[in-house]
Amino acid sequence: MVPVPPAIASLTRPAENLFTYYFLRALATLPALPITLPLLYFRYHTMRYEFSPEGIRMSWGVLFRHEIVLNYARIQDIHLRSNAIERWLGLARIEIQTASGSSSAEMVLEGIPDPAAMRDFLYDRMRGASTPTADPNASLAAILHEIAAEMRALRLALNPEAPPLHPHG
């Protein structure tokens, strides 16, 4: 299993400017400010990330604790989204979708310092997770030749009187 790069593994909390964004979001809901500000405050202060060689774990919440564990192999698509205020604060959301059948994202990573690098890391893990046992030094041609030889041996074992096929046919 390939280890997680130290810059990614060390991310356990969202960036501080995410709280600024949450505060501005709460201000936008002026009549509901007494409700939204504490919700977003506790979301920010309880949000935790853990990046392991197998997948991602995200948790948050005080009264209603949420925890999502997502294996890299389950990732189907990754979207990087940000509105004008998020871009002004240097933030972006990384929306991770799986084949769960839902149209919404399974996990949304917020407050990541370098969202483009995180997206690239997730794409690499997503692509690499589908073939964890493949030998990176083996070429496709060598694998195909090995499969063809096995097929020829099976054909001869099942039908010994069959004429041998041309090695490339």
Q: In which band, very low, low, confident or very high, does the pLDDT at 142 lie, cut at 50, 70 and 90?
A: confident
Q: How far is CA 136 from the centre of its chain?
A: 22
Percent of the chain with pLDDT over 70: 88
Instruction: List CB contacts of 150: < 8 A, sequence separation 6 or more.
Output: none
141 φ/ψ angles, rounded to the nearest 5 degrees: -60, -40
CATH topology of domain 6-125: PH-domain like (2.30.29)
Supply the pTM of this predicted model.
0.71
Residue 100 has pLDDT above 90, yes or no: no
- pLDDT at site 59: 97
Higher pLDDT, 169 or 1: 1
Q: Is-contact 106 57, C-beta < 8 A?
A: no
What confidence tens digit (pLDDT) does each residue in 38-65 have? 999 999 999 999 999 999 999 999 989 9
Higher pLDDT, 138 or 114: 114
Nearest by Cα to 53 from 105, 1, 97:
1
Residue 112 has pLDDT above 80, yes or no: yes
Domain residues of the chain, as ranges?
6-125, 133-169
Pairing, β 107-109 against β 93-98:
antiparallel
What b/e sequence results for 15-52 when a residue is b if at least 16 CB atoms lie within 10 Å of its CB, and e otherwise? beebbebbeeebeeeeeeeeebbeebeebbeebebebe
